[in-house]
A and B are shown apart, each in its own frame.
Chain A
Amino acid sequence: MQRSARVLGVSLLCTVVLLVSLAPLMSGFSGGIGGQRVANGCTCHGEGGADPSVSPLLLGVPQTYEAGMSYNLTVQIQGGPVPGGEHQGGFNLDASDGALLTRDDTTQRQEGQLTHTTAGNGQRTWQVAWMAPKEEDHIVTFRLLVNSVDGDFAPSSTDSWNRATFTSRGPGAGGIPQPQGGTHTPLLQRWFPLPLVVVLSLVLAVLIVLLLLPPAAVRGPLGRFLLHWLTTTNHKDIGVLYFVTSLLMYLVGGALAMVMRGQLAGPSGDLVSPQLYNQLVTMHGAIMALFFLSPLGFAFANYLVPLQIGARDLAFPRINALSYWLYLLGALVAASGFFVGGAADVGWTFYAPLTNATYSPGLGVDLAGIGLFLLFLSVTISTINFLVTILRLRAPTMGLWQVPMFTWSVLMTVLIMLIIFPALGGALLLLVSDRHFGTHFFDSALNGALLWDHLFWFFGHPEVYVLLLPSLGTTAEILQAFSRRPLYGRRYIMGAMVVGVVLSVIVWGHHMFTTGIDQRFLEVQVVLTESISIPFAVIVLCYILTLHGGKLRLRTPALWALGSLALFTIGGITGVFLASQALDTHLRGSYYVVAHFHYTLVGSTTFALIGGIYYWFPKMSGRMLSERLGRWHFGISFLSFNLNFLPLFELTDMPRRIATYDVARWVPYNQVATVGAIIFGVAQLLLIVNLLQSMRRGAPAGKDPWRGPSLEWTLSSPPPHDPSEQPPVVVAAPATQAVTTGSSSDPAVGTAKG
């Protein structure tokens, strides 16, 4: 039974990997499976080969263009069936550079090409315009396809077509033609590149050998080690896997950020090309938000939620393991773009139509999309797992309102995930369908660009609360342990989190303040977005009031938690500016926004989770971290973080995601930011050093080094690996007693109330 389940699991995994590696192949079909653009450039008429009696003409193309000039061009059809029918022809024109523009309603743009409209369907000439590129050294190729038809509305032998190309050279163009963007590459070149196939096959081979062999046949320390970590379904092991993977992602994402800040240290940085810079921007965002922050929160959630509520494991341990492996695979697939001709370079927001097959023909967008889709699968099953665990597996006497704050914050997080990730999954499927099967969900002509905005931000905005909430839960645990007092207004904080969850899914419109959509919708969004500050302000203030009457011990975790609250205050207040549509009209897309969300996502979220590492690592490893290194790590990080991001608030006119700039005013701010970023980046190595050093020779932690508030501190450090050695009766007993007697007879409760 067990064995057949294992075979099933392995085959499922193989199928997923195979499907993933096959997906890019689909773009090998010209125009996708739907055959959107057949060989003659039009889906409505004409079969058979090109007809030489039809001459496509493009008049007005300059032999040598003047950079940035606009030219009026005339498209003309000569020859073919005798004119006289109602519909005499159509055309399709694209230019490899510059921009094609319409001049009247007989022509329109579709997917970067110019074609006739219904109004221009019965003509043999059309007037269009072309804006030459700003560069002087380009060679521009025009490709014109024309249909000359008899107008009987049916494909017939008298309908014919032909094509022609025209070129225009810049004054500085050499003799070598430029490679053209946007054209279809041959099938074989599109094949999933070899290196990745080799790596994936090796991984798969190891997996299959290990998993299909009977466990007794695996010998040697390495084999045992691999078998253990590849097959484990223990929540503590999975927690450790998430922990290690997310820390690696932190280093990778951070390294990308270092390169970006290095590039921006001077106005015309030449560390990387603009193209690579766009890839760095995209992958830095995706990795840090989706593959580092959220998984680090879930590393703690995996390890601690069952311990905190007195459960033996998560409700579905196998699903938990699958969730981790899908996440890892997703991260690897998304990042693999760097090795196969370029990762996604469209920003982590994936705005349509930049992501379609015309503007992003490369593999990067496909790989990032597939990576995110795998993450969507991982998150979805994980959500169910945590919901069931927290709602059904609590110790018998632990009411829902009595769960520790971290567990509560995880419950809130998975509730948001349950609502928003389907929007991401759906949007990604539609995007893949557009890119490869010729559908038109995000077609600009059908207002598809705005459809993507709505779908993406319905996911994307609440996602920041998905990142934030576990870190707020962590802060609550740390504050209680180190201030030596119960949380101030605990139930109100829990309630405020519920309000935050509800509001978070209805404020996405503030990302669309400048899109010119219905103003009434946007004004509602202004009010809602301002309102979301209320529950979070209450949470922060209650956290601070918790210190009142306590005996605060400023150990490393407490420093990070308090630092996180201070930075969250700045992040929150600067966010209120962005909630005002009027202020957003100037601030949107600028470095002000970059500074704001780094204060919330790094300053608040990452700081709190790093505090969580200092707080819970002794529980997970049984060894203390160095207090001295931890303090240095905090001090340097806090100062350099502010040095990095405080100056950026002033750059309200510098656009995000640009690789070079030519404005003198931006230089000093960027230089300060780069210095701050490099110090911050290097300081993070202190954490790695501290972790490695502690594992080798850290002081033993004992059961409860911080005298923490929740159930995990009643267990040994590290807790017994096998849940069966962790008898729930013993674990739950203190909670049981306290819960049943604590409500009124505990003297501490009486004095604390009121």
Chain B
Amino acid sequence: MDPLIPLRLPVTGLHGPVYEQLFALYLGIGIVAALLVFSLMAYLIHRYRAAGPSDVDPPDAPRAGAAPIERGDCRVPLVLALLVTLVLFSVSLGTFDTIALYHDEPNDPDALRIDVVAYRYGFSYTYPDGSVVVDNLTVPVDRTVVLKITSTDVFHNFAVPELRLKADAIPGHTTMLWFKGDSPGTHRIQCMELCGTDHGAMVGSLRILSAPEYDQWVARGG
């Protein structure tokens, strides 16, 4: 395999690192939880395995046709439930901050506002001055960009994985997505909702330019 191919997905932009931090929190707790469950399982399997086919059954072993026997301390399941609840709600506290970051439209008068229209099979971008470009979105670095996304035909999805951004493009409905590029570069844009035969080819790119380059690009007429 070519060593130059990155095995991890690069991360950039304003949301990317925040997302990765939250993901790492979930992953850490998830791995610990999974290891605990697996160790418990492995221990019990190892410890309570029958020595052989003739090993004697415990006294309360199930018998066909006998009424089920209630077993276990009622406090254990409740404590388990409480424990799981605590873990879940501690991670969800982090979630709500990040949700707010994604979903609260920034109140930035200097923001670049672009209308995105998804169609089969591409995206068109209408800039504030009325100019329209397709497929490749070009924005300046370090400036808030607010996208209003809709679709002219079917359900699409506008995703920029390297910036950890995604919003559905729904006909008859507008969704908002905002971001801020922190360094110049080019990132893949992809439709992530099945929209027809060429869904897989509904790909574009996000070009983040330095301020002077962006001004030049605008001056050239996009």
Residues of A within 8 A of B (CB): 68-70, 99-101, 109, 112, 129, 131, 134, 274-275, 278, 281, 345-347, 351-354, 359, 398, 402, 404, 443-450, 480-481, 483-493, 496, 514-516, 519, 523, 526-527, 530-531, 533-535, 537-538, 540-542, 544-545, 547-554, 562, 565-566, 569-570, 573-574, 576-577, 580-583, 585-586, 588-590, 650, 652-653, 655-665, 667-668, 703-704, 707-714, 731, 733-735, 738-739, 742, 746-749, 751-754
- Measured CB to CB, the nearest residue on chain A to B135 is A68
* Smallest CB gap from A657: residue in B: B194
For the complex of A and B, the 7 pairs showing the least CB-CB separation, nearest first, are A734-B65, A658-B200, A653-B161, A516-B175, A709-B62, A99-B119, A444-B171
Q: List 10 A-B contacts (CB under 8 A).
A: A109-B171, A274-B201, A275-B197, A354-B154, A484-B50, A580-B91, A580-B92, A653-B161, A665-B6, A738-B65
Set B1, B120, B188: member contacting A663, Cβ < 8 A: B188
Partner of B66, one of A484, A734, A747: A734
Instruction: Tell me whether B67 and A742 are in contact (CB under 8 A).
Output: yes
Residue ID in chain A nearest B176 by CB atoms: A516
A531: chain B residues within 8 A (beta carbon): 85, 88
Q: Which residues of A contact B205 (CB under 8 A)?
A: none
**Chain B, 90-134, contact with A by CB distance < 8 Å: what is the 0/1 string?**
011001101101110000000000000101111010000000111
Known: A514-B166, A709-B68. A534 touches B49 (CB 8 A): no
The answer to whether B172 touches A444 (Cβ under 8 A) is: yes
Closest to B51 in A: A551
Q: Which residue of A lies closest to B193 (CB)?
A: A589
Complex contact A359–B154 (CB within 8 A): yes
CB-CB under 8 A from A581, the residues of chain B are 95, 99, 102
Given the interface pairs A486-B69, A530-B92, A551-B55, the reply to whether A577 lies near B34 with Cβ below 8 Å is no
Q: Which residues of A contact B117 (CB under 8 A)?
A: 99, 101
A573 to B29, CA, bound (A): 9
Q: How far is the CA of A486 from the CA of B63 in the complex (A)?
A: 10
Residue from A541, A583, A653, A748 within 8 A of B60 (CB atoms): A748
In whole angstroms, how far apart are the Cα atoms of A452 and B154 in the complex? 12
The answer to whether A526 and B92 touch across the interface, beta carbons within 8 angstroms, is yes
The residues in B between 179 and 209 inclusive whose CB is less than 8 angstroms from any CB of A are 188, 190-201, 203
A583-B19 CB under 8 A given contacts A554-B49, A709-B68, A738-B66: yes
Residues of B within 8 A of A585 (CB): 19, 102, 164-167
Q: Kindly specify which of B72-80, B137-145, B211-219 makes contact with the partner chain.
A: B72-80
Shortest distance between the CB of B2 and any CB in chain A (Å)? 7
What residues on B are CB-neighbors of A747 within 8 Å? 59
- B residues at A contact (CB < 8 Å): 1-2, 5-9, 19, 22-23, 26-27, 30, 33-34, 37-38, 40-41, 44-45, 48-51, 53, 55-74, 76-78, 80-81, 84-85, 88-89, 91-92, 95-96, 98-99, 101-103, 117, 119-122, 124, 132-135, 151-155, 157, 159, 161-162, 164-168, 170-176, 188, 190-201, 203
Determine how close the nearest CB of chain A comes to the CB of B113; give it in whole angstroms: 16
Whether the Cβ atoms of B175 and A515 lie closer than 8 Å is yes
> Known: A516-B167, A668-B1. Contact between A533 and B64, CB under 8 A?
no
Contacts of B152 in A (CB 8 A): 99-101, 109
Chain A minimum-CB-distance residue to B97: A582
Q: How far is the CA of A519 from the CA of B96 in the complex (A)?
A: 11
Find the B residue at minimum CB distance from A749: B69
Specify which of B58, B69, B89, B167 is in contact with A551 (CB 8 Å cutoff).
B58
B77: chain A residues at CB < 8 Å are 489, 492-493, 496, 538, 541-542
Chain A residue numbers with a CB within 8 Å of B57 are: 484, 551, 707
Could you say which residues of chain B place their CB within 8 Å of the CB of A398? Answer: 67
> Contact at B76–A545, with CB atoms within 8 Å?
yes
Chain A residues contacting B70 (CB-CB under 8 Å) are 486, 490-491, 749, 752-753
Besides A274-B200, A486-B68, A547-B48, 14 other CB < 8 A contacts? A134-B122, A354-B155, A354-B194, A486-B62, A492-B78, A538-B84, A551-B57, A582-B102, A585-B19, A586-B165, A589-B166, A661-B200, A711-B65, A748-B60
Chain B residue contacts of A540, Cβ below 8 A: 37
Q: Identify which of B62, B72, B91 contacts A576 (C-beta below 8 A).
A: B91
Would B196 and A359 count as touching, CB distance under 8 A?
A: yes
